[in-house]
Amino acid sequence: MEKSKINPLIAGLINMLLPGSINVYAKKEWRKFVLTFVGVELVLAIAIWLGLSLQSARFFSFPQGVCPGVLALIVLVPLFVSGLNAAKELNKNLDDKVLYQSRKPVNQDNEDEQLQKIQKMRDEGLISEQQYDARKDKIVSKK
């Protein structure tokens, strides 16, 4: 199964809403997901508890919910950014793989197999029409 590109914005939002989910969505690493999820949920719970405690203290006069909200954002923003960066990295790796495949020379198979391979590469968008024509001419001229 061929991997497709991941939208970085969606990856960031998913990672923010379900902490650590980028590990499953992009990398297929379930263990990292579970560890990240548990760790972030614990940190988030502590941040909200701390914010509520500070909110109810007599020496602070913040509007209701400001302190817990700010502390929660301190946890959620890095989750969004890490999901965004992980998706960008995965997309870059996929682009590099496509570029490598498009520049890799065709094996010395028989003529029909070589033509089928370059046809498949053209259909998948790995090579342009001009590259297809040039490779086809090269294969046919070897006769």
The domain spans of the chain are 1-101, 105-143
Flag whether pLDDT at 77 surpasses 60.
yes
- Pick from 46, 29, 33, 30: nearest CA to 79: 33
Which pLDDT band, with edges at 50, 70 and 90, does 1 fall under?
A: very low
Which pLDDT band, with edges at 50, 70 and 90, does 21 fall under?
A: confident
Please calculate the CA angle 99-104-106 and round it to the nearest 5 degrees. Answer: 140
In this prediction, residue 66 carries a pLDDT of 65
- Pick from 113, 115, 85, 67: nearest CA to 22: 85
CA distances from 60 to 53, 56, 64 (A): 10, 8, 11
d(CA 113, CA 111): 6
Residue type for position 74: I
Flag whether pLDDT at 105 surpasses 60.
yes
d(CA 137, CA 143): 11
Name every residue whose Cβ is closer than 8 Å to that of residue 115 and which is 6 or more positions away in sequence: 136, 139
Hey, which of 31-40, 45-54, 102-111 has the most confident mean pLDDT?
Answer: 31-40
